[in-house]
A = this chain, B = another copy of it.
């Protein structure tokens, strides 16, 4: 339960407070990371037609062609249109102690049903240099509060990750985390401090470095994606940047770097083969990452003829498990004993994790074509050679990305 009793000192549902903390992220982040423009993101390149006309057309409907995703995306647009309250001219009479403020704001976020919350100082390289229309962005807030919302284990259990509910899974966590960030920002503004919410379609900041710096995860093999020890990669994020004095958290080390080196299950299962198999990370913009083929990933997500978007890597990641019983123990072991990593990956396949369990499929596969919903021909892009694609009920199809 999100809001039930917790062990002493634990603020939320997950024992973030018990993780091993380190002074720097477990992957290199150098002194010369440059600010980037949102204009250069894969999705905006696609919208401008840089990946061809078919995908440009697909971009605008990649989520909204499916009715659950469309209904939730409508809420995110509504959130973006809400007018923030003016920053109050007087500071509220609250303690000035940053540690107390951090506990206070986390208490608020968990009350609002966030799944994990972390706080970091906001480095300027995490602020976009300019937005999608190349308008410069300036943001001098000192801190970032980061909110994670689970996409839901059960729906992933019933899904292929690359099928028709995939976009809705993202949108659900984008909208829920955006809702929380909007409340928290408006609350802090009432206290008399500057604060801005950042969420899907409304980000002035890049989330991956903030998730890493605030101690909510480590860099994973699917480059740019940060993985959390309790939710795996099964979450989306929002943030509030603010000048309210806060005590930052430290980055975490739960052994993921060795795990991602040996596992490679995401690379094996990626329908667009966008995730590298390499043993080594690269240095890009003075930080360490795996070299994701961003164009192939974006093409797959937007052009997916067998679903709405794609999160197949999230589905099959061995860290995507319900947080309960045996899995708590397994996570504890994985975090501490790197020898167990190879065994864990082997067992994960053997036990059938990453398969679709149709009893948890609550949605209908539907595709809107010119205002009318149709039952789509193809359901879920998976790699034919995958050991997970052998069972007939999976309804697997090879992804067809030819233009």
Contacts and interface: CB of A to CB of B under 8 A. Distances in A.
Contact of A113 (B176, B186, B192): B176
Interface residues of A, number: 68
A67 B176 contact: no
B4 A363 contact: no
A5 B152 CA distance: 10
A323 interface: yes
A369 B8 CA distance: 36
A319 B8 CA distance: 23
Nearest to A361: B107
B155 A111 contact: yes
Contacts of A5: 153-154, 157, 322, 324
Given A4-B324, A111-B172, A373-B92, A363 B104 contact: yes
A191 B182 CA distance: 30
Interface stretch (A48-56, A71-79, A119-127, A282-290): A71-79
A68 interface: yes
Contacts of A192: 373
A75 B152 contact: no
A87 to B, nearest CB: 12
A17 interface: no
A214 B211 CA distance: 41
B362 A108 contact: yes
Nearest to A374: B93
A350 interface: no
Nearest to A75: B183
A364 B100 CA distance: 11
Interface string A175-186: 110010011101
A71 B104 contact: no
A322 B4 contact: yes
Nearest to A103: B362
A90 interface: yes
A151 to B, nearest CB: 8
B88 A371 contact: yes
B155 A3 contact: yes
Nearest to A64: B190
A94 interface: yes
Given A88-B373, A374-B93, A71 B183 contact: yes
A318 B92 CA distance: 36
A372 B104 contact: no
A25 to B, nearest CB: 27
A78 B82 CA distance: 6
Contact of A322 (B1, B68, B172): B1
Interface string A149-185: 0101111010000000000100010011001001110
B92 A190 contact: no
Contact of A172 (B112, B154, B190): B112
Contacts of A104: 362-364
A227 interface: no
Nearest to A70: B190
Given A183-B75, A364-B94, A191 B373 contact: yes
15 contacts: A2-B150, A2-B152, A3-B153, A3-B154, A3-B155, A4-B322, A4-B323, A5-B157, A70-B186, A75-B182, A78-B82, A94-B364, A108-B363, A111-B155, A113-B152
Given A108-B362, A113-B172, 17 more contacts: A1-B2, A3-B155, A4-B153, A4-B322, A4-B323, A68-B108, A70-B186, A75-B182, A103-B362, A107-B363, A111-B155, A111-B362, A112-B172, A113-B152, A175-B179, A191-B373, A192-B373
Closest 8 CB pairs of A and B: A107-B362, A92-B373, A3-B152, A71-B187, A4-B322, A67-B190, A71-B186, A78-B82
